[in-house]
Amino acid sequence: MGVFTYETEINSVIPPARLFNAFVLDADNLVPKIAPQAVKSTEILEGDGGIGTIKKINFGEGSTYSYVKHRIDGIDKENFVYQYSVIEGDAISETIEKISYETKLVASGSGSVVKSTSNYYTKGDFEIKEEHVKAGKEKASHLFKLIENYLLEHHDAYN
């Protein structure tokens, strides 16, 4: 098994607490509302929303994939850190065991820096292609910008 790690940073004008509330804590409700083409619905299969919870995310009709299952590995509301793993779904192939993510929001001026680390756990000698990761980063960045724009347009949301 190999582990391939990728890191990204996105700057935001939204403060960390507000962004964490929308982007992490209420994403299951917010994302299907503002981007139904990306995420149709989310359902909790096991757990209470805390560590160990397993969620099924059903993607919208225009998506390459139909669903994934996430396991919540960590939530630190005080330090704005969220960790989860994609453990099942058609985004996971015979070559990938799981993908683990850590997202951390750090204050920067009046906004935030979103620091994300992705760890791809592959089976055998399989290597992740850079274009695969780049395509995933572009989709995530687009979804993030939709959430950021929603927060800019709805000043009272998630305060």
Task: Please name each of the domains of the chain with its CATH number.
Answer: 2-35+77-153 (3.30.530.20)
Q: Report the pLDDT value the prediction gives residue 65, as an integer from 0 to 100.
A: 86
Instruction: Tell me the whole-structure pTM to 2 decimals.
Output: 0.91
59 three-class SS:
strand
Q: What is the pLDDT of residues 85-132, one digit of tens each?
A: 999 998 787 788 899 999 999 999 999 999 999 999 988 887 787 777
Please name every residue paired with 39 in a beta bridge, in sequence order, or none if there are none.
59
- Helical H runs in 35-92? none
